[in-house]
Structure formats: structure tokens, C-alpha cells
Amino acid sequence: MEQLIADLLAHPKVIETRDHMHHSIPKHDHLLRSVKYSSRFAKLLRADLRTCVRAAMIHDIDSRLGTLTTHGAVAARWAAEQGEPEAVCRAIISHMYPLGPAPTSREAWVLVLADKAASLGDFRQYLRGLINGSSQQIRRRLELSDPYYCQRPRRPRHRLLHRRLLNRPLRPRRRRTRAEP
Ligand SMILES: [Fe+2]
Ligand SMILES: [Fe+2]
């Protein structure tokens, strides 16, 4: 199966996803997990394996340039520019269903299911890493390497605390006046 995506694995655009954060883990992990589930579901649903695994490897490329509902179209456009067949692009567009457009092919349904299954796997990976501290380390590394996080203005960690306690203007205390006897 790796032969079907060998060229994509060597593509700089895919390689850079090792330094991008996605579901609090490297995006590259999410893409590979999606490929794994796509190959399983492709066999179950008798879909074209090559289309499914290539669509899975690309489906979240440049996702930050779109929204939850439109980033499928962003990745599909990139795939088309790379010369991917229409079937691959079509599967990518609808991978966020029911957010965004509905799948229009068997391969597109495979990617919808594979992406959801992979997202659950991502969550499990993150939770497991919380126990030995590796998730926190990876998150810190990705915050430094991911351009989206580097360019984002830093917010104070305890925003609510700052606003509620530290930034609250001090009101002068009212003096209690003793009631006259
Ligand atoms: Fe996505
Ligand atoms: Fe995804």
C-alpha cells in the first residue's frame, strides 16, 4: 500500500505536516492514520484502493486556509494542481461531511469514515501521551514549529483570572459609619 503513496510521502508539502499541529498531534500522524483506515474501509466498501489512500494522504493539506466546512475544497484544489485524478479531488472535497458537501462517490464515503475513525485515534494517541508527558512535549514543540501558532499573538494563560482578579479596577472601600446611639 505504501507504494501507492510513495511520491506523496516524499513531497515537501506532506513532509512539512510533521511540524503542523492537528488535533493536538502532528498532522502527519493524522494523515497516515487516515490512510490506514481508508485502506481498510476501501476493502469493506469495495472502493478503489488507490483513490482512497491518495485522497486520505492529501485531505487536510493547507487546512488552515479554509474553515471547517471549506478546507476540503482547499485540499482538493491543491490535489488538482498536483495532477491528481478527479476521483481523488472529489473524495477530498466532502471529507468533513456532515459539515460541508455530501459525498458523491464510494471513495468519498470511505474518506468520510476514515477521517472520523482517524480523529478518534488521534484523540486516543493524545490521551495516552498525557500519562507520560509526551503529549505536552509534542504540543509545545508544535507550537514553536507550526507557522499558525508562531504568528498568533500569545494570550495570557489564565485569561479569566487576569481579567477577573488582576485587571479589575480597585474600588475605594466604603467606610462604615457607626449608627448614632
Ligand atoms: Fe479535515
Ligand atoms: Fe482529517
What value does the mean pLDDT take over residues 38-65? Answer: 97
Ligand 2 centre from 56 Cα, in Å? 8
Quote the CA–CA distance of 27 and 21 in Å, as a whole number: 6
- Read off the pTM: 0.83
* Domains contained in the chain, CATH given: 2-152 (1.10.3210)
The 10 Å CB-count burial string (b at 16+, else e) for 23-33 is bbbbbbbbbbb
Ligand 1 centre from 178 Cα, in Å? 67
Residue 159 to residues 53, 103, 116, 136, Cα–Cα distance (Å): 42, 41, 32, 20
Ligand 1 centre from 162 Cα, in Å? 34
pLDDT digits (tens, 9 = 90+) for 95-136: 999 999 999 999 999 999 999 999 999 999 999 999 999 999
Ligand 1 centre from 101 Cα, in Å? 12
- Helices 49-58 and 71-81 meet at what angle, rounded to 10? 110
